[in-house]
Amino acid sequence: MAIGLDVGTSFIIAASEAADGIQYKEVRDAFIRLKATTPIAAKMMEKGLTGQKYFKDTDGSFVVIGQDAIERAVERHQSASRPMHRGIISPRERDARKILKFILGAVLATPVSTSEVVVFSIPAQPVDQDGEAFDTGFHEDAISNDIRELGFIPKALNEAEAICYSELEEDNYTGICLSFGAGMVNVCVMSAGEAILKFSTTKSGDWIDQMAAAATGEQESTVQVEKEGGSFTVGQEVKDSPVLSAVAAYYIRLADYTARTLANELMQSRALPTFATPIPVIVSGGTSRAQGFTTAFGSILQAQKLPFIIKEVRQAKDPLRAVARGCLIAASL
Ligand SMILES: Nc1ncnc2c1ncn2[C@@H]1O[C@H](COP(=O)(O)OP(=O)(O)OP(=O)(O)O)[C@@H](O)[C@H]1O
Ligand SMILES: [Mg+2]
């Protein structure tokens, strides 16, 4: 049985074939460490964790994973920690690998045969991190090793390329797919099934949270919750809500930044073929779910100088799961 795996900054999602269609299993990419002060408190703490995803670490502390970690953090007026940052294993978290491996084990379960393939998503190298040491190579190798140790055969696939497999069937696998995630925007230009150009930028949902938090003096996690609540339209002020007004404004800046970078990369590319017909652009990822985003990004992109004509800008059918679905399609080939 083949598995598609989206290893994202905010969600890890596994997709597999079931009798009634594709079955998805997802875990929020977050954790919190709970440390009891006495052995009795530790016993009580463990009882309280029954039914939740957690493991007991070598120092006796409990590491709670996923949505449960976020809820625990909110109870304690803290933010949950994250094992990934900007699309790759977080260099800021000492325990990132241990935690990611536990999450991978939880979504992948046990292999049924020794030849089970897991196609997992990786980000492309960013084009906007010139001044910083940033490389996706170690992330790919580490995730690959973890999947192998869990008993599967790992194969890496670019995240935006996976979206092309998921969304471009009716377009002869020709078009541009953009994954607006938490840490990154990943882009793939595909021509007749071949990935011609892949790159990423490092401003996306987390960047909106950071900027809107800085502008309003709120916590990033508070901004994120309000943003995901969705009572705003991209580019429009929200009466009585400075946070959502800032979110709506930074969405336009994100669309503008991404469209300009995309246009620039396309105009510079030597690999790009001459497209004879207009081509579709597909936006996906959690950040693309905001009301008015697809339309706003579409008109900003149309205003750029591009080496082809855009047929349409549309949203992926299931923007949170298109990567996992595309990885599954690749794994089943
Ligand atoms: N309804 C919504 N409106 C606005 N933003 C949303 C909504 N739902 C989720 N998001 C945002 O989408 C992002 C998560 O998207 P997604 O699951 O595609 O990312 P990821 O794959 O985990 O990250 P990455 O691809 O960057 O590694 C987060 O920033 C989250 O706040
Ligand atoms: Mg993603």
201 lines ligand 1 (CB under 6 A): no
pLDDT at 256 over 80: yes
pLDDT at 290 over 80: yes
Greater pLDDT, 276 or 291: 291
Ligand nearest to the CA of 285: 1
Contact 136, 125 (CB under 8 A): yes
Out of 7, 10, 166, 203, mutate this one to test ligand 1's pocket (max ligand atoms within 8 Å of CB): namely 10
Average pLDDT on 291-301 reads: 98
What is the model's pLDDT at position 193? 96
Contact 147, 120 (CB under 8 A): yes
Nearest C-alpha neighbor of 331 from the set 14, 7, 21, 20? 14
pLDDT digits (tens, 9 = 90+) for 106-160: 999 888 888 899 999 999 999 998 766 778 899 999 999 999 999 999 999 999 9
pTM of the model: 0.94
Cα of 8 to ligand 1 centre, how many Å? 9
pLDDT digits (tens, 9 = 90+) for 56-89: 999 999 999 999 998 888 788 888 899 999 899 9
What is the model's pLDDT at position 263? 97
231 lines ligand 1 (CB under 6 A): no
What is the model's pLDDT at position 77? 80
Considering only CA atoms, which residue is closest to atom 21 of ligand 1?
8
Neighbours of ion ligand 2 (CB under 5 A): 8, 181
DSSP string, 234-295: TT---TT-HHHHHHHHHHHHHHHHHHHHHHHHHHH-SS----SS-EEEEEESGGGGSBTHHH
Q: Which residues pair with 304 in a beta bridge?
A: none
Average pLDDT on 243-268 reads: 97
Token pair for residue 315? 């949203």
pLDDT digits (tens, 9 = 90+) for 150-194: 999 999 999 999 999 999 999 999 999 999 999 999 999 999 999
228 lines ligand 1 (CB under 6 A): yes
28 lines ligand 1 (CB under 6 A): no
CB atoms within 10 A of CB 215: 16
pLDDT at 220 over 90: no
Contact 200, 184 (CB under 8 A): yes
User: Cα–Cα distances in Å, from 282 out to 26, 32, 178, 179, 285?
Assistant: 23, 35, 6, 9, 10
What is the model's pLDDT at position 79? 81
Out of 227, 233, 325, mutate this one to test ligand 1's pocket (max ligand atoms within 8 Å of CB): namely 227
Cα of 35 to ligand 2 centre, how many Å? 31
**Mean pLDDT, the chain, as a whole number?**
94
Range from 42-46, 154-158, 253-257 carrying the lowest mean pLDDT: 42-46
Contact 252, 235 (CB under 8 A): yes
Cα of 285 to ligand 2 centre, how many Å? 6
- Max CA separation in the chain (angstroms): 72
Cα of 1 to ligand 1 centre, how many Å? 28
Contact 147, 141 (CB under 8 A): no
Token pair for residue 210? 């950071």
What is the model's pLDDT at position 61? 94
Contact 204, 180 (CB under 8 A): yes
Ligand nearest to the CA of 90: 1
82 lines ligand 1 (CB under 6 A): no
Return the residue matching tokens 């935690």.
Answer: 99
Average pLDDT on 83-99 reads: 92
What is the model's pLDDT at position 132? 67
